[in-house]
Chains A and B, each alone.
Chain A
């Protein structure tokens, strides 16, 4: 399958420059786009989904150019935005059939087949006759993925899919995403590092509208190599740690606190260097940008 190539995409909203020369090359599989709120992730997702037009730059997938072939892009695309709140007064099945028609699926039999297939894939077949307005947050997200799967798209974009979901729903969703990435391009945009860790083969980080691509999770975590320490401290010592010490996480035990710390040099005689996680790699990268 062809690569999705995003070249030097710019987008501004008035004086706010949301994207600055964002460039990525994305192959088949699940690609993570990680960044804090306001970094430009959603703007980029909307541009790929053809909901917004970039001010400059180009996106291509094989022969398809976003600037020239937006209708064709929409035909091969499945998009799950952050919010999925449409069609509250109809049942899940009716909603999907309606969307199937918007996507150009012809014939009521074909519509029915595709609707049932995607409902089964997201485990909502039994709820197909329930009104969408009565769905829980997790069910609505799964319905959102179901509509994105209609017409078997080559490219799926999922924007902050697990935000607001309980842990069980989040795990279910990640498992579903892993299945989806087997023979298509899936772009997962999120600020939740665990989602990236659980699902993505390659990723990029976006900050202030600029993107940096990493070929693997290990490449990102390697940025924090030699800078992550575990340190067992007494409660008193832990509480007196200065603000210049960057504590990533801490585990409270009966008589001590086990802290993970990011520091350029060994923060104390008993601190031990440890293997960094993606989250720590991301934090170090973020700090270096600032």
Chain B
């Protein structure tokens, strides 16, 4: 597909998401302001950013992924779309990853803005890059799978909410280090490296399962 046509296709996808496209961006903007207002409270400045950006902005990728397939999976028009000669990988997994990468870019723009607004020396570690990235990808994969199975955007967002609450309350102790909130609400018994490996593995498995189901049009039609 041409670059120009891909951008236009993206604009249609974004328009299709409606207000849900802007909700995560709004939350990230509010968090940047929060970082500015609370900048004096923390001894270690990066902790303000981790606490602000490590929970809701990471979970909010759910809004995008649940809406991305609204037309294909949940609308009255899905039969028409299912009869199209789209390539399953292109329209499924690759599309999810494109939007997840876009989300990560926006996330780090606001992350950088928050750091600037703190106005103090902010010392970052490697985990401040790879943990949020892996966590966002984890939620992206999880939501993709739930979207394909349930074909209901409300259920997708609810499932993400329930998972997050469970993870937050247990601090990942019941999920074998698969803990996407480690960056914002760390479990002291986990190392960032171990959580990173666990998230990476789980994400791959979730993406594979989701794409496999997505490629089965009979299943999507049920």
Chain A residues engaging chain B, CB cutoff 8 angstroms: 46, 49-53, 71, 74-75, 77, 79-90, 94-95, 97-99, 101-104, 106-108, 111, 144, 147
Contacts and interface: CB of A to CB of B under 8 A. Distances in A.
Nearest to B17: A89
Contacts of B218: 52-53
Nearest to B88: A71
A97 B12 contact: yes
Give the dominant DSSP class at B's interface: helix
Nearest to A83: B76
Contact of A144 (B11, B80, B82): B80
Interface stretch (B2-10, B133-141, B154-162): B2-10
A108 B12 CA distance: 14
Nearest to B8: A97
Contacts of A104: 85
Given A99-B84, A103-B85, A106-B2, A85 B12 contact: no
B156 to A, nearest CB: 18
A119 B2 CA distance: 23
Interface string B82-102: 111110000100000000000
Chain B: number of interface residues, binned into ranges:
20 to 34
Interface of B: 1-2, 4-5, 8-9, 11-12, 15-16, 18, 71-72, 75-86, 91, 217-218, 221
A108 B71 contact: no
Contacts of A75: 85
Given A81-B80, A104-B85, A95 B75 contact: no
A107 B83 CA distance: 22
A51 B82 contact: yes
Contacts of B4: 108
A99 B91 CA distance: 12
A186 B91 CA distance: 28
A86 B8 contact: no
Nearest to B216: A53
A86 B81 contact: yes
Contacts of B15: 89-90, 94
B80 A90 contact: no
B77 A102 contact: no
Contact of A87 (B1, B2, B16): B16
A86 B85 contact: no
Contacts of B82: 51
A1 to B, nearest CB: 20
A87 B84 contact: no
Nearest to B77: A86
Interface centre among B1, B5, B80 (most CB of A within 10 A): B80
